[in-house]
Structure 1
Amino acid sequence: KWDDFYPAEREAATVGDKIVGVPALVDNLAIVYNKKLFADAGVAAPTANWTWDDFRAAAAKLTDPAKGQYGWLIPADGSEDTVWHYVPMLWEAGGDILSPDNEHAVFNSEAGVQALTTLQQMAVTDKSLYLDTTNENGPKLMNSGKVAMLVTGPWDLSQLPDIDYGVQVMPSYAGAAGGHQTIAGPDNWVVFNNGDKKKQAAIDFVKWLTAPEQVKAFSLGTGDLPIRASVGQDQTVLTKLNENVPGTATFVENLSNVEKVRPTVEQYPDISEALGQAIVSVMLGKDQPAAALNSAAQAADTALAGK
C-alpha cells in the first residue's frame, strides 16, 4: 500500500504528479541530550511541550565558559547539514523554503527571520551555541561532556557510548501554526527500464523488498528506521529497536512530525549553498538575519530563473 509509506517519503519520491521512486530509507532530527549535565545544572529534561524559548533558556543554563561547556552544538560549515538544522525551525515558525510553484525563494519571510534570529540570539548574545565549523565534533564533544545537546538523527546514537542520553522531539514556536516538526532525508529505490522482459521482475523485486515483513526484518537487523508506518507503529518492533539502541523508538515516533520535504528541484544544491552561507554569517555575528536571508533569496531566485 502506497499510503503505508510516511507522507514525506511519498512526497520525496514524487516529482510533479509522477512517482519516480519507492522509499528505501528514512530518518529525522530530534534533540539528543546529556542527562547528567541537565541534572548537574538543575535543568529539567526536555519535554514534548518544549518551545524554542525553553530550549534557549536551558542551553544558556547549561553553558559554562569556565569549563568550556556549551548548551548546544550546531554544524556551522555552511553545508546542507547546516541548512538541515535551520529548516525545521523555519517550518515550525510557519515558513517554507520555496513558493508552492517552486518558482521563488520564500525563506526570507517573517518566519524565516524569526528562526534565524533564534540561532543569532543563542550564538551571538547568549554564547550558548558551539559553532562546529568542521562539522566533525558533535559526538566527540557530547561524549566528553562539553556539549549538553545535539539536534541530530538516529545515526549518532551508537556513537555516544560514554554518556547517559535522552531523546526528545524538536521544540516548537509558541503561538505558531507549525507545531513540532522535523526534517527527513528519504532515499528512494529507483528502477530503470531495461527491457520488457525484466520490467515485471524488477517490479516484483521492489514490492518484495519494501513489503512490511522485509521492512521489519531490515529495521531490526540494521537499526534503521522502518519506512512503513504499519511497522513503525508495531510496539514489538519499537521495543526491540530501543533495546538494541536506546532512543531509537523516539525517532520512529518522530516520523509523524515529518510533514514536509525539501524542494524536489534540480537547483536545490545552489539554494542550499546560498542559505547555508547566510545562516553561518549570522551565527558568526557578521550579518543580520533579514539582510542575510534576503541576499540568499536573491541567489536562490537567480538559480531558479536559470532552469
Structure 2
Amino acid sequence: MKKSIILLCGGTSVLLAAGTLMPGWLTFMLTLALAKGLVVLGLLLLMRAGLVSFGQGLYYCLGAYAVAVTGEYFHTQNALLLMAVAVVVCVALAAIIGLLLCRYRDIFFAMFSLAFSMILYGVLVKSSAFGSSDGFNVSPPQLFGWMPGEENTPLLAYCLAVVSVVAVATFIWNYFRSPMGYAGEAVRENEIRVEYLGVSVRRVIYTKYLLAAAMAGLGGAITALTAGHIDPEMAYWTTSGEFVFIALMGGTGHVAGPVIGSVLFELLRTFAFQLSPYTWQMILGIALLAIILYLPKGVWSLIERITKRISA
C-alpha cells in the first residue's frame, strides 16, 4: 500500500513537472486529452456493468456551460469553484434522468441517453442567451485569487487536469474493489441472481450513472477552462461517439486504459488532420478497425502482455 502511494505521488509530481517543460501546443493537447479521459473513466463504470452510453456528451457539455454561465453571470473566475459548480449541476440533472434510464438496458439505454444529449444540443442551438450555435467565450481561470498570465494559463489548466485525473482514477480503482464495484460486474453477468442476493440492480446502475455524470461534468469544466470557448457541438452525438471510441481504444480492463486511449486518440487525430485534412476521419476509422481486430480488449491489453513477459 505504501509503495503504491509513493509511486502515485511520484508519478503525479513527474507529470506536473513535465508541464513546465513541454511546448504550449503539447500542454494544450494533453489537457484536452485528460479532460476527455475523465469522461471516459465515467463511461468505464457503465461499461463494466454492461451498459454503453451514447449520451455522455450531455454532461460534458453541461459542465462546460455551467462554468461559462457561472463565470459570466456571477462574475467569478475561481477554477475550483467553477469545477465544483459543474459537477453539482451535472449530478443534479443526472439524479432526475437516471431515475428513467436505470430501468433500461442494452440498446434502449444507449438510445435514451443519446436522445437526452441531442435535446440539450437543440436547446442550446436555438438559445440566443447562450450564444446559439456560435457558443461564447470563457474567462481565463484563477486559483485562490492568483491570476496567471496568458502564457501560464494552459499550465494551470494542465495541472488541474492532472490532479483531477489522478484523484478520480484512484477513486475508481478503489471503487472497483468495493462491494458496489463488484456488484456492477455481477449485474453485467446475471441481473436475476444479483436481485436474489438482495442487491437492488437499479440502485447499482443509478449510482454508477450519477458518478459517470459527475466525471463527465468535471471533464467538460476543464475543457472550458482550457479552450476558453464552448459551443453546442459538445453535446452533439459525434462527441459522445468519440468517448465510446476512446473507451474501445484504451480498453476497460484497467483505470489507466481510458486515459491512455484518450491521449492516443488526441495524438492520432492531431497528426491525421495535419497529414490529411479532408480524410482524417478515415485514418481514425482504420485505426479503430485495427485495434478491434488485433487488440479487442484495447491498448491496455498490449501493455499487460508486455509487463507479463518482462516479469516472466
Please indicate, yes or no, whether the TM-score normalized by the shorter chain is above 0.5.
Answer: no
When you count strand as a share of all residues, which structure comes out higher? 1
* Shorter-chain TM band: under 0.3
TM-score by length of 1: 0.23
When you count helix as a share of all residues, which structure comes out higher? 2
